[in-house]
Amino acid sequence: MGQELLQTFFATITDVLPIACIIVGFQSLVIRRPIAHPSRVGLGFFYVLVGLTFFLQGLEMAFFPIGKLMAQQLTAPEFITGLQQTSHAMKRVDWSQYYWVYVFALAIGFSTTIAEPSLLAVALKAQQVSGGVIGAWGLRIAVAIGVAMGVALGSFRIITGSPLHWYIMVGYGIVIIQTFFAPRMIIPLAYDSGGVTTSIVTVPLVAALGLGLASTVPGRNPVVDGFGLIAFASLFPIITVLAYAQISTWWAKP
């Protein structure tokens, strides 16, 4: 376990090293002024490194294996159609028989987003900048609902085998219409929330679900249909965050 922890630590260092080099390089060559409180900032970077190491290692130990196994078990034909009629039911499975998959997609999309550190960072920043008008928890829950809906709809798409780009285009269309009506202040943040949600907690579990579905649903090809769930998960939060802002404005009006 100690060795694995050390390995994750070195992997995290290689991830952070380019960023540190660029900052130090520009700081010393272009800006040429010392950083304020260098020891505090240095300690902060060290905390980020150690924190990410423990976080990733903990995920690997506690949640990823069981979450991935769950995605496989829930999408397995034996589970969908019941054990007794496996052999002949394999050929044709109705999309509505996958109800537990949709519930799982909703639940795993929501819960992994709440645990996502990058979203937490952006939500804290937004709360600070807006002077508390936008609450960190409100934003995170709005984003999590978006990811939940996205992953569920993405699973439905894989099961029915309909083309990805039609969904994405309709989604973009909704975002464009919402942009005209949403309060101006929320727009950049809403767009950002699409990109930050899909990170170290969400991607592995959601990808496992997508791959599980694409390889067990009859007639699906994992290399073509396995991709695309992440795209759903980063599109829908934009819609829900814009809707959240719109609803709160209507609510505030007499």
Interface with other proteins in residues 180-199 (CB under 8 A): 184-185, 187-189, 191-192, 194-199
Q: Does 4 contact other proteins by CB under 8 A?
A: no
d(CA 134, CA 147): 19
Q: Does 107 contact other proteins by CB under 8 A?
A: yes
d(CA 217, CA 91): 9
131 SS3 class:
coil
Q: Looking at the chain, how many residues does it have?
A: 254
Answer for which of 10, 28, 82, 129 binds other proteins (CB under 8 A) is 129
Q: Does 45 contact other proteins by CB under 8 A?
A: yes
Contact 101, 155 (CB under 8 A): yes
Q: Which stretch binds other proteins (CB under 8 A): 22-30, 86-94, 246-254?
A: 22-30
Task: Look up residue 8 and give its two tokens.
Answer: 């994750």
Question: What is the DSSP code string of 220-252?
Answer: --HHHHSTTHHHHHHHHHHHHHHHHHHHHHHHH
Instruction: Tell me the per-residue interface mask from 235 to 254 with other proteins, x by CB under 8 A, - otherwise.
Output: --------------------
> Which residue, 2 or 254, is less far from other proteins as judged by CB?
2
Our CA angle for 43, 62, 42, nearest 5°, is 5
Answer for which of 176, 219, 250, 254 binds other proteins (CB under 8 A) is 176
Q: Does 70 contact other proteins by CB under 8 A?
A: yes
Answer for which of 27, 85, 162, 249 binds other proteins (CB under 8 A) is 27
> Which residue, 3 or 88, is less far from other proteins as judged by CB?
3
> Which residue, 91 or 240, is less far from other proteins as judged by CB?
240
> Which residue, 200 or 254, is less far from other proteins as judged by CB?
200
Query: Cα separations (Å) of 55 from 15, 31, 52, 87, 208?
Result: 15, 34, 5, 42, 19
